[in-house]
Structure 1
Amino acid sequence: MSLSPSAPLPTAKATESTRRLVTSLRGPTFNRRQMVVLTLASLVGFFALWELVTRYLDVPSLILPRFSDVLAAAPQMHAEGVLVPNLLISLQNYVVGVLISLAIAVPLGLVVGGIRSLDRIVSPYVWTLYTLPRIVLMPLILIWFGLGDTARILLIVLSAAPAVLVFVMEGAKNTDMSLVQAARAFGASRRQLIMHVALPNTAPFVATGIRMGVSRGLVGLFIGELFTAADGIGYLMLVSSRRFATPRVYLILLLFVAFSVVMVAATNWLEKKASKWRPE
């Protein structure tokens, strides 16, 4: 189908009208400060509604305790000396597991994704690990490594590393070969190719992989601590649930959610920075 030569071309005025229409459909836009205020206001409203519903509708505390009771559980657990030590244990295991995952997955993904024949061999195994539910590996991990930190760190690595590896491999495969050829034509060394061509092109994929790995690593941490039942935040939640201490269970859940939100926000910021680094 061909366009008629007499057909009117889109003008700048029409384009501006379209842009205004799209903006109006999206609704009002807010700057960063306004978004922070709105987010805090929504959180305050949510917790206030939680308190009012549980206080005046006689909701059983075993199902949903009052928010004030959940907050009161924090100083109680701190006074007992169980909150901070278990939080630090979970944080330590998580950081170690994620760092090991990045140390393995990023360089391996760059190598595998950059060599087509190797990619065809390794990809099926990577995707199998990526899609496999981590919980099915826990019985074997417990048999091999027992109930210590090693088992939990290994589960974090098995949860986070495949996610990072998948995206880094994809980024390495999508490197613009015309840029590589142009750099070689100007006499670029291998180091210069990596620093000025490969890394800028793969950086957004690496950042996305880190974001996925961070979130999946949190799931691995929680599953590992529930199964090992030795220490950590998951163990503390398990003990609290067995004692029917529902406010403590909700407190631990809120702490876990808050940490997850912080980590995801940090990796989203990293992903945006990496996307700006990529050449157009």
Structure 2
Amino acid sequence: MQNQSFITEFVLLGLSQKPTVQKILFVVFLLVYIATIVGNMLIVVTILHSPALLGSPMYFFLAFLSFLEACFSSCITPKMIVDSIYRRKTISYKGCMTQLFAEHFFGGAEMITLTVMAYDRYVAICKPLHYSSIMNWRLCRILVGMSWTGAFLHSIIQVLLTFQLPFCGPNVIDHFMCDLYPLLGLACTDTHLIGLLMIVTSGFMCIIIFCLLLVSYGVILFSLRTHNAEGRRKALSTCGSHIAVVVLFFVPCIYVYARPPSVFPFDKEVEIVYTILTPLLNPLIYTFRNKEVKNAIRKMWKRLVLVSDEK
């Protein structure tokens, strides 16, 4: 089907049309975005500058996840911040497709990375004697490559499906970003089949990966019975952080995408959780519950202070 779109831009209604509320949102989301970037990049820099952490696949994937969180937030939040200044919020057709691709690309990569991190913890806890031989650096590079490849395929499918939709009527999106279901509601054609394909490619993928993660962490927790108290405490602390991030990311995704394609009243509020709050909470969850990361951050700051004093 040929794309017959006559619309060159979309109007975003955002979270509110009230000037006072928009000013508050500008300040809140600006602070949240700065904290998100600083927090996640602090984890990346800390791990890259700490040989003890970088030598561990778990922290290598944590640095990769933090990088993805910063990128994921950057393809949504800056546009929201800028839009909150203006009364009329617009995004070009090409900009809309670009944002749609970026959010699903980095979101898809994050899903796969969380699955990889669960596998890493499974091997570390359930097969500790074979951990170094299984989780070698060749496999780590392959898994990162799989994350990028799988995310690209997922996001390009979403964009190609959306690109087939003809937009020739209303161009107002009741949302703060370009997303699948709001765009379906504006199409000048029957979107039933494309809506089902989107559910399969996005919703079912969220459900399947989430269930796999729950099963894997269930197996990990069950296997902890054979560990000593200190081993159980450390494993529970690490797995608890991972499970918290998984729940914060996947539950809103399942709510948004694993349902009939329609717009619900609380969609915007739910999407704020996994697009803005989860990237912010990720560094807090991992650093507050991880002694090694906190120690590495302290050492890095001490080195920076010593270097500045010498100057």
Q: Which has the higher helix share?
A: 1
- When normalised by structure 2's length, the TM-score is 0.29
Q: Which of the pair has more CA radius of gyration?
A: 1
Structure with bigger RCO (C-alpha 8 Å, 6+ apart): 2
